[in-house]
């Protein structure tokens, strides 16, 4: 049975209740995180929860749980949900709480709603590229908002894009801006590889500052064996890339073998992916 946390209490997920006036429900007025735990060990706990604190500060939601408090709460949740599986994702969400009316302006003196639950996640993929699962994606213009750096619970823009890919039988959808430049995927960041160089779009308001993205960049730089750049990438470059990867806390680094029905590179999982994924796997618990 899945045990959730809601406003200071642990209870079965199926019994958790919030007010219909909660601003998370009415306006998508909240911030969330998803932290992966493998055999009880988190990946990127500090950067995840720092990003959460930054998001809450940016939209002026007061939440009195600090890093140590989150650590205790989330580790507790992982322990209480051990029967769900060895590897768990922990979802946490803080909304602006439930006022007594529906009114757009931020209310004063309304306590935030804090909700968390755990769910099973896949085992990590094998690092051997002949055994790894290759993803198929398509692409479309990014029609979300201009604050994609905020990990808001208001995900309708992302959900519509994800569904476009899903309905077409694809695993994900890559997004590009009006200028034809790659932004990210509907639920992940994106990387390309050309002539052995790994490239990913710069971190700005057009993308979520992904923690997996950050760990990949930092661990590749620390290893020093692969060249990596953060810069603007045109869709022409994406279409001519030797490799494409999509990254997130649940996917880790997923190799893409087909884009819009065309093979990526030679249509097989790439060699640079294998090297990068080995580096990431060896160091992911250090972040």
- Binding residues for ligand PDD, per CB under 6 A? 34, 158, 184, 187-189, 208, 210-213, 247-250
Indicate the residue among 149 and 268 with the shorter CB distance to ligand PDD: 149
Residues in the chain: 287
CB of residue 213 to ligand PDD, shortest distance in Å:
6
Indicate the residue among 34 and 254 with the shorter CB distance to ligand PDD: 34
CB of residue 121 to ligand PDD, shortest distance in Å:
10
Q: Which residues contact 194 (CB under 8 A, 6 or more apart)?
A: 237, 240, 241, 242
Instruction: Name the residues annotated as catalytic.
Output: 151
CB of residue 187 to ligand PDD, shortest distance in Å:
4
d(CA 279, CA 275): 6
d(CA 56, CA 245): 29
Strand, coil or helix: 53: helix
CB of residue 248 to ligand PDD, shortest distance in Å:
4
Check: CB of residue 53 under 8 Å from CB of residue 3.
no
d(CA 191, CA 93): 28
The CA-atom distances, in angstroms, between 108 and each of 100, 101, 213 are 12, 12, 36
Indicate the residue among 200 and 249 with the shorter CB distance to ligand PDD: 249
Indicate the residue among 36 and 270 with the shorter CB distance to ligand PDD: 36
């Amino acid at each position: 049975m899945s045990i959730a946390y809601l406003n200071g209490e642990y209870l079965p997920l199926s019994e958790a209740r919030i007010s219909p006036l909660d601003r998370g429900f009415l306006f998508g007025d909240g911030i969330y995180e998803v932290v992966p735990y493998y055999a009880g060990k988190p990946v990127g706990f500090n950067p995840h929860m720092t990003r959460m604190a930054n998001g809450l500060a940016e939209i002026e939601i007061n939440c009195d749980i600090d890093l140590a408090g989150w650590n205790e709460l989330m580790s507790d949740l992982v322990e209480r949900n051990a029967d769900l599986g060895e590897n768990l994702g922990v979802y946490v969400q803080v909304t602006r709480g439930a006022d007594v009316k529906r009114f757009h302006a931020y209310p004063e003196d309304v306590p935030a709603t804090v909700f968390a639950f755990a769910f099973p996640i896949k085992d990590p993929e094998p690092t051997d590229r002949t055994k790894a699962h290759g993803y198929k994606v398509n692409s479309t213009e990014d029609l979300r908002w201009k604050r994609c750096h905020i990990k808001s619970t208001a995900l309708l823009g992302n959900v519509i894009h994800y569904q476009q890919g899903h309905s077409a039988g694809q695993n994900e959808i890559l997004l590009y801006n009006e200028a034809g430049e790659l932004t990210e995927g509907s639920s992940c960041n994106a990387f390309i590889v050309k002539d052995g160089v790994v490239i990913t779009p710069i971190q700005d308001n057009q993308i979520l500052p992904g923690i997996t993205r950050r760990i990949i960049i930092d661990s590749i730089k620390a290893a020093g064996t692969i060249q990596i750049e953060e810069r603007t990438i045109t869709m022409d470059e994406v279409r001519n890339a030797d490799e494409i990867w999509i990254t997130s806390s649940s996917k880790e680094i997923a190799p893409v073998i087909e884009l819009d029905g065309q093979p990526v590179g030679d249509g097989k999982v790439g060699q640079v992916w294998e090297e990068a994924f080995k580096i990431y796997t060896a160091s992911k618990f250090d972040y």
